[in-house]
Chain A
Amino acid sequence: MATTTARPSPTAPTTGPAASQRRGRPARRKTDGVAGYVFLSPWLLGLLTVTAVPMLMSLYLSFTNYDVLSDWESMEWVGLDNYRTMFTEDPSFWHAVRTTLVFALVATPLKLAAALGVAVLLNRSFKAAGLFRGLFYLPSLLGGSVALAIVWVNMFNRDGAFNSFLSWFGIEGKAWVNDPDYALGTLILLAVWQFGAPMVIFLAGLKQVPTELYEAASVDGASPFRKFVSITLPMLSPVIFFNLVLETINGFQGFTSAFVLSNGTGGPVDSTLMYTLHLYIKGWNEYQMGYASAMAWVFLLAIGLVTAVVFRTGKFWVHYSDGED
């Protein structure tokens, strides 16, 4: 795109030893190999120690009847039993899968749309912009705290604020949070309400869009909508992509709000029993950690597949300024 016009030189790279080693492209490739691993080394070390070991342990546990409390010696290898039980004998499993799908498929796009919309509104310099950014981020600051549950329940209860609002229009609301037909809806609303994180990332991304592009388009007489579609969206696509991937993963994980709002039960009547909440209950309330681990690995594979598909489609619509796919 238009970025090719800019060919600036960095501020002060010409001093020091680097200056004496001018090299062409082939040489750079070679240095890259070593440098790549140098830069990657903290992460690699972390992966091999902190991350991979517990992950592999949990994979191993998924083939056992590990129950957290008993001695490790009494743990038994049960082969694929946990996986078999999950797919054939646990009615809550499929229920949780459905609940999670509904939640993720509804909440994720809504949240992203809210985040992008507000970010675009706030991506202007005006006096109170900073304040507004903070205010819109505030809900996310509550995270999954104790206070949040009480607040949300009181907003969407029968005598809550939302129904008072509806009553202005003569509508009699329901006990949304306590109604198995609507509880998941309030959970989705909560997820959308906490749109702060993707909003911030969008804002940061918007700042990266070179202003010359808009100036050039203005000169050409492009409408704001036109500018949004042909400049903002493509230039923002790596960030949109990031938010899409992460919020999809988050949506499917969807643990905290369900846990907090239902007091860890997934109620009323399992209406908010998300996959990860079911997993938590199995592992930590029923001490079937082997089974919970198996659920976690099935989750990893399933979401891994979804993520891979998202990455695939990214090749068609994500525009990277670095010129690589």
Chain B
Amino acid sequence: MTVQRLARPLTLVLLSAVVLYPLVWMLGSSFKGPQEVLNNMSILPREWTPGNYSAGWTNFDVSFGRFFVNSALVAGLTVVANCVSCLLAAYAFARLKFKLRGFWFAIMIGTLLLPGHVLIVPQFVMFKTFGWVGGDWPYAPLIVPQLLATEAFFVFLMVQFMRGVPRDLDEAATIDGCTPYGVFRHVILPLSRPALVSTAIFSFIWTWNDFFRQLVYLSDLEKYTAPVALTLFIDSSGQSSVGPMFAMSVLSLAPVFLFFVAFQRMLVEGINTSGLKG
């Protein structure tokens, strides 16, 4: 029995040690000076150089904190936009019967399939036509699409979760006089928390890490986000600051890690349908 009791924690500790080793190495390297960061492979620096953190933070005209704020803004708005818009669409797909539902669903899955790199130019041209590019608020091209549930991933995710909710609940609610809007409000919304939390977590993290789109649409140093700013440390043909780059990479993990730890609790507490029994 004790062997069994110990098996789980032991497995977890061992697994996490393996999984985390590369990250610990990165943490160690963020304290290495410029002359050893490239050729000292060991996990610990020979000379501790905490200066990477201050150097990275103040490396640009704009403090690195500014990039974090920008990233948080974009990521935060994306979270809200995705949660709202995708939930609405998912409810329609998962629960409501309407003409062409299967057709639209197939189209939605189809939008997941086209490699994004061929869409960048057409999208840029289109957003420019809309007047969204290069305005005072350059984040519009990054956020407005999210308001329109364009991230099919999340719609599909929520559809799958909703389909795991017993339909009896809707029917009971309908018999009690709920319209589809009422069912959405009183049954689906509260039951969708795991799906919403997952969506929030992924939206936040993926936006936090998204490089290409942010690169294309942001042109002002003050408006840059963390992933764009992180590349600024490495000019492959010239000056590179690998140590400060590692330091800021470690720091930029912190907000997403905290976001995750905070929100995953809501996953854990979860809900089970029995909790709703009147």
Contacts and interface: CB of A to CB of B under 8 A. Distances in A.
A145 to B, nearest CB: 6
Contacts of A6: 166, 168, 273-274, 277
A144 B215 CA distance: 14
Interface residues of A, number: 123
B98 A33 contact: yes
Interface stretch (A11-19, A105-113, A169-177): A11-19
B163 A321 contact: yes
B6 interface: no
A297 interface: yes
Nearest to B205: A141
A204 B161 contact: yes
B89 A43 contact: yes
B257 A134 contact: yes
Contacts of B70: none
A145 B110 contact: no
A1 to B, nearest CB: 9
Nearest to B155: A43
B194 A321 contact: no
Contacts of A197: 202
A229 interface: no
Interface residues of B, number: 119
Interface in A196-242: 197, 200-201, 203-205, 207-212, 235, 238-239, 241-242
Given A8-B277, A46-B148, A144-B211, A205 B249 contact: no
Given A13-B186, A42-B85, A307-B113, 7 more contacts: A10-B176, A49-B148, A136-B15, A137-B264, A207-B267, A238-B164, A323-B166
Nearest to B174: A28
A138 B234 CA distance: 23
Interface in B85-127: 85-86, 88-89, 91-99, 101, 104, 107-115, 117-119, 121-123, 125-126
A276 B187 CA distance: 41
Nearest to B26: A151
A324 B163 CA distance: 8
Interface string B175-197: 11111111010110010001101
A74 to B, nearest CB: 15
Contact of B268 (A68, A129, A146, A321): A129
Describe A's contact surface by its main secondary structure: helix
Interface in A78-137: 118, 121-122, 124-125, 129-137
Contacts of A307: 109, 113
A300 B109 CA distance: 10
B268 to A, nearest CB: 7
B59 interface: no
Contact of B205 (A37, A53, A140): A140
Contacts of B149: 42-43, 46
Contacts of B195: 204
A166 interface: no
A44 B105 CA distance: 11
Contacts of B231: 146
A322 B85 contact: no
A7 B107 contact: no
A246 B198 CA distance: 14
B105 to A, nearest CB: 10
A92 B268 CA distance: 47
